[in-house]
Structure 1
């Protein structure tokens, strides 16, 4: 008995060869696009290890000697201010606001997806409409409110602001995630006597865990990166990390190496959170994509 030989590359039909070349070209294009997106971050990382003199050269030198002076200056090694209070303020505002967003968004998404209220589409549009107002348009009223209530330069004001800013997008995301939760398991829990808080905490949250993790990560990133409100409403006590970064651009010049070192350090919490939750993030963002 003889077996037919597998067709070689030259024996493939013309359509198959064309599709293979197209796939290879698309793969190379995807790699080129990915590398181009990473180049600015890689350049910032390399510049952070250069001295100020080497970082300021034009064109910049790739072969310049490496040093940790930028990181030492950032962490106050040269007698300058320490970055720990702004970093702690950013972490506190981001974490507490994210927790509040999840606590408020989970029952709201439950009411809009599983136990739908009347005219729930109008409610969803109302949530979305709150994101249509330019942020700068609400800056003056918020500033006057903070001034009259004595909450200027207070990290808890940022917690409330970040919660209100991230709540609409969190409700929208979690509504789509909770729509995929089987109603039968919720009804079974209710038959066993579980009340709504128990259903949300012990039935809905574990099933929609990837979606909740994706929502939490996105809210954390938005809170950590927010600059406008933090720049206007904080001073010294509640100064956040993005506001602290703007202090490296002074009338004396731009300290590029130190600024790059500070940007790398400030970016690490977001990168670490994204790396730790990457599996949950992919699962959460892909929920509902395949029925």
Structure 2
């Protein structure tokens, strides 16, 4: 029998959740609001909340100065491409770690995760030189490779967690029916783990979309994604806050819309296997 929750506790929990949600959302709200101000209004003291001259001039200027759609397409190719390549590698790897007995599985997983603890700047110079010699600088292919390697430990960790929730008996039954390794992964394991795979895909697209360090250091113009598009509005003369806010709004809008429409699938995947 479920324990009754008092009204006071419900009110407190709801208020706390709304407070945290608003605190997290406020920077996005303020960025969007600032994007409709003039540069003078953007730095006004005290800040202007509603009583200002609403304008779309910043968006027009941003599009005229920088080709937004070219940067947007680069972000789509780099984030989706790196995630799909990562999934192709991670699904068999996570299957092997989850269903093939091995004493060193945990050690391998921890070693993979430890690579995320390395400061990226520590390998910037050698990676830059390798990319320069291979002709991968300022190319979408180069960024897809880098972001795949960066996010691969997270993808494998997440898929391993989801695969461990799938009963081994189902896979053994498929093997007894004559399913080979390829068919077992494609037609038995993958369909059962669709919620987990979908949430992994969505989260890693977001991570790749927001990656700034590597995109700023390994691109110049041709393959520059939206992170470089935003950074172009920071100059030695100062920050153009209104135009920077407009560029930021245009950069985060696609990923916010994707997250909004896929939130049910995302939550389902994150809670996959939590309740039996």
For the aligned pair, the TM-score class normalised by the smaller chain equals over 0.9
Give me the TM-score of the superposition, normalised by structure 2.
0.93
Offset from partner CA, 1:212-249 (integer Å, 9 cap, x none):
01111111111111111111111111112101211111
Structure 2 unaligned runs (5+)? none
Q: 1:245-284 deviations in whole A, cap 9, x for unaligned?
A: 1111123432211111111111122212212321221111
1:31 and 2:18 are equivalent in the alignment: yes
Aligned mate of 1:119, from 91, 104, 123:
104
CA distance in 2, matches of 1:162, 1:28: 39
Matches of 1:225 and 1:116 in 2, distance apart?
Answer: 36
Q: Which moved more, 1:63-72 or 1:188-197?
A: 188-197
2:179 to 178, 188, 194: 194
In the alignment, what sits opposite 1:174?
A: 159
Q: Deviations over 1:173-211 (max 9, x none)?
A: 110101111223222322332222222122111111111
Residue deviations 1:13-72, cap 9 Å, x none? xxx999432332232122122112111111111111122222221222121121111111
Q: CA RMSD in A?
A: 1.9
Equivalents in 2 of 1:65, 1:208: separation in Å? 51
TM-score w.r.t. length of structure 1: 0.88
Partners of 1:38 and 1:264 lie apart in 2 by: 13
Q: Which residue of 1 aligns with 2:42?
A: 55
Measured in 2, the distance between the counterparts of 1:18 and 1:164 equals 46
Distance 1:17 1:214, change over 3 A: closer
In the other structure, the counterpart of 1:145 is 130
Provide structure 1 residue ranges, at least 5 long, that are not aligned to the other structure: 1-15
Label 1:86 to 1:23 Cα distance change in 2 as closer, same or farther (>3 A). same
Q: Does the 8 Å contact 2:229/2:247 carry over to 1?
A: no
Answer whether contact 1:44 1:260 (CA < 8 A) is retained: yes
Structure 1's 196 and 66: CA in aligned 2 closer, same or farther, altered over 3 A?
same
Q: Which among 223, 247, 260 is matched to residue 275 of structure 1?
A: 260
